Amino acid sequence: MRIEKLYTIAQRELAKDLVFEIEDEPVTLSIRGVLLARVESKSYNFSFFELSENEFVLAVQMKGFTVYLGIEADEELEEEAYSELVRILLEHLTPQIALLITRAEKDYRGRADLLLDDDMSPEMKEFFYSLLVKHRKGEPVYEQTEVA
């Protein structure tokens, strides 16, 4: 599959504003970035990275790929709301992420590509481009600073 088709899927399925009720308050979440990366693991997993008071990245891993979603909230979110936020996002976005990965799984041969860069803040851009470079070079994405 040509990369243009993956860009089209990301634009059509993921480039949107989402409105959810979190802790009884309406919150608008805008997906600003999407990065698709090939990984060694075929397991299912997710990670959450806080970049600022209202920006974060949700990484969803499945079928040998990780999709990183850069999301901006219209207001600051309390840390206590993160578990509910992640649950809602996974519930709502898993079908779209699965569609993107299923299409990539068939014909995508690249290591990593940025599929959406929609008005990202400088901090989010730096995070995404750092991930892109690490994935393309085959370097570890996560830095462990403490013994687990």
> Per the confidence metrics, is the pTM higher than 0.75?
yes
Note the pLDDT of residue 58. 96
| pLDDT at 1 > cutoff 80 | no
Q: Which of 38, 39, 42, 37 is nearest to 57 (CA)?
A: 37
Q: What is the mean pLDDT of the chain?
A: 90
Q: What is the DSSP letter of 138?
A: T
Average confidence (pLDDT) over 104-122: 90
Average confidence (pLDDT) over 16-20: 90
Question: Can you give 1-47 as a three-state secondary structure string?
Answer: CCHHHHHHHHHHHHCCEEEEEECCEEEEEEEEEEEEEECCCCCCEEE
| pLDDT at 144 > cutoff 60 | no
Q: How confident is the model at residue 45 (pLDDT cuts 50, 70, 90)?
A: very high
